[in-house]
Amino acid sequence: MRRLAFQIYMTVVGVLLLFAVLVLLTWIVHPQAPWERDFAHELGAAAAEILPGPDRPTEELQATLDRLATRLQIDVAVFDSGGEQLAATGESLPDTPLRRRNWLRHQARATTVTLPLPDGRTFVARRWHPRGGGATAFLLFLGLLALAVAIGAWPLVLRLTRRLERLRQRVEDLGGGDLKARAPVEGRDEVAQLASSFNRAADRIERLVESQRRVLVHASHELRSPLARLRLSLEMMPGSEAQKERATRDVAELDGIIDEVLEASRLEARGPAARREPVDLLALLAEEGARHDVDVEGEAVVISGDPRLLRRLVRNLLDNARRHGGEGPIEARVERSEHSGVRLLVLDRGPGVAEGERERIFEPFHRPAGSAETGQGFGLGLALVRQIARAHGGEAQCRPREGGGTVFEVLLAREDG
C-alpha cells in the first residue's frame, strides 16, 4: 500500500510543479490585458500635460525628464515622430522607440512602458525591479507554495491509503475464514462506499454459510437415528454372518462420515482451536499407534492444543495409512524441527500418491483418477487433518517417501521451545 501512497503523492506533486511552471511562463509572456491598454493611454495623456511641448527647448525637456526620473526612480526618454531621441535619462533605454505603442512589457528584471503622445512624440519609461524581485521572487514564491502543498498533501495521502490498507486487511480476514470481519466505514467518499459494499457482501456471505452449515448439521444429526435403528435391525436380522458383517461395516462407515461432517462443521464455526492445554504428542501418538499396530518412535514433545482434536488428527492419519498404505509396515514418529516446531510423520510403503494429487487429497471427498471403480476415496479424513493442523497454527502436507510409499507430515508449534 506504500507504493500506492507514493504514486498518489507523486501525482499531486507533479501536477503542482506543472501548474507552477505554466503560471511562471504565463507571467513572463502574458499578452497585454485591456486594463493595461487603458492604463497606458491615461499615462500617456498625463505625460503629455507634464512634458514641455515640441516647440520648447530641448534643455527644458531634459530637465523635466530628470525631475521625473528622480522622483519616480525610472529611466525615461522622448522620441520625435521620426524615431530620433530628443532627451533621455539613464542608459538602459534603446536609441529608437519600440514599434508597438501603448504597451506594457514585463521582463525578468524590468517593466517597460511605450506611450504615444498627442503631439506625435513617443514617451518611453522603464522601471527596474529590485534585486531579488521579478521572476526570481516569483519563482521563490511558487517553490515555497509547492513545498507547502507537498508537505500538506503527504498526510492526506497516507490517511487515504491507511483506510484502503484497513479495507484490504478485512478482505484478507474474510478470505481466511473470518466471517465476522467487517471494514470500518470512515467518511462519505468512494472509499467509505466501498467499505459499506464490502460489509454488505460479508453479511450476505456469513448468512449463506451459516444457513448451509445449519442444514448440514441438522441433516447429519437426523441421520443418526435411522442409522442406529438400521444397525439394531442388522443384528437381529437372520442371514449369514458374512452378509451381516458387511452391512454392519457399511453402516459404521456411514456413521463415521456423519461424525466427520459434524466435526468439520464445528471446526469451521469455531475457527482456531479455542481449548488449549499442554499435550504430549508422542504419548498421544503411542496410544493411537497401539490401536492400529503401528511402530511409534521419537522424542517427547509438549505442544499447546486441543487434546480431542489432536487425537482425531492422529487417528485419521493412521486410519488413512492403514487403508491406503498397502500391506507394508506403517511407521509414525515425532521430531523436533527448527524455529520451535514439531513434526508429526506417518510413513507407509503403499503405491504412493501422484504428484498432481498430493494437494487434492486434502479436499473433502476427493476421489483420485481411477478410484471410481474401486469405490475408494479419501472422504473427510485428510481434510479434517489439515483443518485441525491449521486450527493449531500449523500445516499438513503429503510427499513421496524415499524407496517408495508416502509420507504425511504435520508441522505444529511446540510449547517447550
From the list 383, 3, 402, the residue with the least C-alpha distance to 165 is 3
What cell numbers appear for 54 in the block?
A: 515640441
Rounded Cα gap, residues 270 and 178, in angstroms: 10
How far CA 72 is from CA of 16, 68, 257, in Å, comes to 38, 6, 104
Geometric angle at alpha carbon 384, from 296 and 198, rounded to 5°: 145
| Paired sense of beta strands 295-298 and 331-337, if any | parallel
Other residues' Cβ atoms within 10 Å of the Cβ of residue 42: 11
Instruction: List the one residue out of 110, 117, 121, 116 whose CA is nearest residue 86.
Output: 121
Q: Quick one: how far is CA 211 from the chain centroid?
A: 31
Q: What is the pLDDT of residues 208-260, one digit of tens each?
A: 777 767 766 666 666 667 777 777 776 777 766 676 677 777 777 676 667 77
Across the beta sheet with 341-348, what order do the strands follow?
295-298, 331-337, 341-348, 406-413, 395-400
Among 129-138, 152-161, 255-264, the range scoring the smallest mean pLDDT is 129-138
Mean pLDDT confidence for 64-75: 83
Instruction: State the DSSP string of 239-277.
Output: S-HHHHHHHHHHHHHHHHHHHHHHHHHHHHHH-S----E
CB 417 within 8 A of CB 304: no
Q: Output the pLDDT for position 130.
A: 60
Lookup: cell for 163 = 483506510
At residue 110 the predicted structure's pLDDT band, cuts being 50, 70 and 90, is low
415 against 311, higher pLDDT: 311
Which range (24-38, 94-108, 269-283, 383-397) has the least confidence?
94-108
Is the pLDDT at 320 greater than 70? The verdict is yes
pLDDT in tens, 341-367: 899 999 998 888 888 888 888 887 777
What is the C-alpha separation between 384 and 316, in angstroms, rounded? 8
Q: Tell me: pLDDT of 297 over 70.
A: yes
CB atoms within 10 A of CB 39: 14
Check whether 332 has a pLDDT greater than 90. Answer: yes
Q: In terms of C-beta density within 10 A (0-12 exposed, 13-18 middle, 19 or more buried), how is residue 110 classed?
A: middle
Q: What is the dihedral of CA 115, 121, 127, 128, to 10 degrees?
A: 120
Q: Domains of the chain, with CATH numbers?
A: 31-128 (3.30.450), 191-268 (1.10.287.130), 275-413 (3.30.565.10)
pTM above 0.85, yes or no: no
The per-residue pLDDT for range 369-415, each reduced to its tens digit, is 655 444 455 567 888 889 889 888 889 999 999 888 999 999 988 76
Residue 1 has a CB neighbour count (10 Å cut-off) of 15
